[in-house]
Amino acid sequence: MNKKINTISDEWFKATIDKNQLKKLSKRSDWPGFRHIIIYFSSLFISAYLTYYTWGSWWSVFWLWIYGIIFYASNPIWHETGHRTAFKSRFINDFFYQISSFMTDFEPTRWRWSHTMHHSYTSSTVNPHDYEAALFHTYPKPLTFFLSFVPFIELFRIHKSLKFEILQHAFGIITPVMRDCIPENYRWKCRMISRIHVGIWLASIILSFVILNPLPALLIFFPRYWGNIVELFNQTQHIGLPENIKDHRYTTRSIRLNPIFSFLYWKMEYHVEHHMFPIVPSYNLPKLHELIKNQLPKPNLSLYNAYREIIPAIIKQHKDNNYFIKKQISIRAHE
């Protein structure tokens, strides 16, 4: 597909919804964001303390694993604060955006711009290229796809990791994503924050050597490498679905999760709804779904149900790049 798609926002399909209802759902509040942040960071600090308290016993392995899962769940915090919908206050959104960006190995300037491109050009394989959907643009081998969920696997291909990208930016290298997504007058900021991230990584590693204890590095540098359960959620968003179509109902997947997974993912399982109306805070997406569900394909009912269609698609797409999952859309009465 070498034809550049038209990306005028008004030409994307949007479900019909009363303007007053949409305005109400788009209203931001600090309380839901603080509730999530308080529970999240309390859980993170408790698991870190229990790791420290039980250090030297097998219990520390368990608590360190829990810590890594919670640590990696900063990804949805990055996402929601990046959209500035987690809180009413722009300052609070940006404050937690910086913190969660560090935790996810996302340099915040790069990802601010690339995520904007992701929403403007969702699933575009042509220029402008959707860098965030790069995994399914490459039609990976099934083994490569499965390995992406294996703890520590990213350390064995560090040259393709987000940490390596940050290192490149810290050394002033202009990467393809910097060239294509970040305006020239913002690139200095990307380089500066990349250097801050690298400085914190080095400080944690040096501290571990000084005190002869790996815990600082394990709590700061490494946790995303074994806590990647959130990737199970992230990979459901677009994989196996068609590209270069200006209708999120076809290119994006919504699923249903249990309450714990839904908390970790901060309601981003309502992903079609989010792409269609990104101004709606995540905590209002279930309400939005109820209002427009008769105009959307039925969501996958679980992670298991989603991967039952994703895994065969991965296998078929690696052999035939023209294959994709066809979502069935039919206008139906409210259930």
State pLDDT tens for residues 22-44.
999 999 999 999 999 999 999 99
147-187 pLDDT, tens digit per residue, is 888 888 888 888 888 999 999 999 999 999 999 999 999 99
In a domain, 64, yes or no: yes
In angstroms, the Cα distances linking 274 to 99, 121, 168, 215 are 23, 14, 32, 38
In a domain, 147, yes or no: yes
In a domain, 319, yes or no: no
* Structural domain range at position 165: 9-19+28-244
Closest by Cα among 83, 113, 117, 114 to 100: 83
Residues 6+ apart with CB under 8 A from 191: 169, 170, 172
- Cβ–Cβ under 8 Å, residues 11 and 274: no
In a domain, 316, yes or no: no
49-65 pLDDT, tens digit per residue, is 999 999 999 999 999 99
Mean pLDDT of 60-75: 95
In angstroms, the Cα distances linking 198 to 61, 181, 207, 221, 314 are 26, 22, 14, 10, 35
109-161 pLDDT, tens digit per residue, is 999 999 998 998 888 887 777 888 766 667 778 888 888 888 888 888 888 88
pTM of the model: 0.91
In a domain, 139, yes or no: yes
Q: How many CB atoms lie within 10 A of CB 155?
A: 12
β strands within the chain, DSSP E? none
pLDDT at 70 (0 to 100): 96
242-295 pLDDT, tens digit per residue, is 988 889 999 999 999 999 999 999 999 999 999 999 999 999 999 999 999 999
Instruction: Give the pair of three-digit tokens for residue 183.
Output: 């305006």
In a domain, 214, yes or no: yes
> Number of structural domains, the chain?
1
